[in-house]
Chains A and B, each alone.
Chain A
């Protein structure tokens, strides 16, 4: 059984009264536990929308076309309330974004602790877990710095620590190297790779960088809101 399975995923954004955008037009996707998958495609192909739906940030449309299905660990996710989806995000998912998205007033440690706290840890446990996560990404000495005082690579590593602190079943990364130079990019990518290899971390990352996609196990190509191709990479096959 796949960890994550979606069927008939559709999303139409109403941009104005007459203008709507069919971001996803019926996508079927299945991600197995332990996989590291890249979603690629030109901008507007629906790859971010797909990630938002897989990450329970948005719900798939249910008001047109065949009924969508979305199962996480066998459980139906399409009918969850906002607060139930929030709890799932907090406990079972980790997010890494292109623009890091750390809370500017909090130190790296506090940013990571915040997620641990949302995941239900006491502040004592959260502090310990956050410290461990920061050590794992090699940022222990920078833990008390605010995002503004960190380089882009360091910020993204702090964001990765935040995503990992609750030991999520699924790690979702939206263009995680999009704002980094190639050296920092390689660092972050190496961390993601290691995470997958050492812990079997299921990872879905959205990218338009073929080099990033090449370092994953499987690439899903999207175009115009549909899956164009879905292939295992040679080194896995």
Chain B
């Protein structure tokens, strides 16, 4: 109580100091929430590749939607290799030609033969409404939509949706996964192959037979078989294809995660310096103003330790209030931005409890640390001289 009264004595100054910390913590919260989301995306990406070898055309460079098709004959050759349990050829087609939201999850149309993975895909998708695609859907124009995509298109079961100029019937909507399938339209392989041909320049497209191409082939190594060994065998098979395992993915994407984590550390350091200095300044001024009061307390028997404790606690309270306000404002931004982003399927932030607790604890400790120096100098005052101070 006394503590708050002391802070309230110089309301404007205390408010400004708290504001300084608030801004720092706000930035820390928002950036950390962004980093959480990106790390989660990378982890889920990394997760996606576990237990798989992705085979794509050597010239298309690995991750993402392969723009150069590979010949399905390759899939048959891979099927005959040692240590291969299942082969799942897929065709991925961009939902739209222009992708503005490069940052979020791209909307894609994925064609695959249902059941080709033979139940080996680690993350089985569940329908929220309707059903999943079945093997006998091949040849018909039906689709299962991801949760975000369904919301964006405003489609329900039985509705007709137009995917790249072709009308499909919606037979199912997936449960939200917070990862790539949320913005995916799943269609039978043959339908996707036709759509894919349409995306190619006419001359190139005319030379290809739709039913003989895939944009990538997902290979499931048999139990006990080594991903890398299987990948090596596939590479040896055909120079025109390249393989990617989860280790390759981590290597490629890990550096991106590092950059984001560095940004967060940078924000934390800046808020530490700015917030810390402003707390030191406030507390130093407060000590100067209260020199006489500190003299009184020392004279009547207040120990140095108590004086320090009192001032450090006061600085800590500045930190707590700044931290909580910063967290609250950060949470508002995160929630609003996610609500706005939901429309376009771009969810940028994930504010975890760990981030929230860390932010408040960080600013509290910061405040207390910054309070130590002024408190120490206050405790060293000569009581008699302090009593004479005007």
Contacts and interface: CB of A to CB of B under 8 A. Distances in A.
Contacts of B295: 101
Interface stretch (A27-35, A87-95, A131-139, A221-229): A87-95
B384 interface: yes
Contacts of A118: 297, 300-303, 306
A101 B303 contact: no
Interface string B360-390: 0000000000000000000000111001000
B37 interface: no
B383 A162 contact: no
B107 interface: no
A110 B384 contact: no
B383 to A, nearest CB: 5
B9 interface: yes
B6 interface: yes
A155 to B, nearest CB: 13
A82 B380 CA distance: 10
A109 B6 CA distance: 17
A87 B300 contact: no
A118 B307 CA distance: 11
Given A82-B304, A83-B303, A87-B303, A57 B297 contact: no
Q: What range describes how many residues of A lie at the interface? A: 20 to 34
Nearest to B6: A105
Contacts of B6: 105
Contacts of A114: 297, 300, 302
Given A105-B5, A106-B2, A115 B384 contact: no
Contacts of B299: 55, 57, 89, 95, 101
A97 interface: yes
Interface in A27-69: 52, 55, 57-58
B109 to A, nearest CB: 69
Contacts of A162: 300
B298 interface: yes
Given A105-B5, A105-B9, A110-B2, A86 B303 contact: yes
Interface in B268-314: 292-293, 295-306
B301 A57 contact: no
A104 B292 CA distance: 10
Contact of A90 (B2, B9, B293, B300): B300
B299 to A, nearest CB: 6
A102 B6 CA distance: 15
Contacts of A102: 296
Contact of A97 (B293, B301, B387): B387
A148 interface: no
A103 B298 CA distance: 12
A105 B292 contact: no
A152 B59 CA distance: 91
Given A57-B384, A101-B387, A87 B297 contact: no
Contacts of A83: 303-305
Contacts of B383: 57
Contact of B302 (A86, A93, A104): A86
Contact of A103 (B293, B304, B305, B387): B293
Interface of B: 2, 5-6, 9, 292-293, 295-306, 382-384, 387
Closest 8 CB pairs of A and B: A90-B301, A118-B301, A89-B301, A101-B296, A86-B303, A115-B300, A105-B5, A57-B384
Interface of A: 52, 55, 57-58, 82-83, 86-87, 89-91, 93, 95, 97, 101-106, 110, 114-115, 118-119, 162-163
Given A52-B384, A89-B301, 7 more contacts: A87-B303, A90-B301, A103-B297, A105-B6, A114-B302, A118-B302, A119-B301
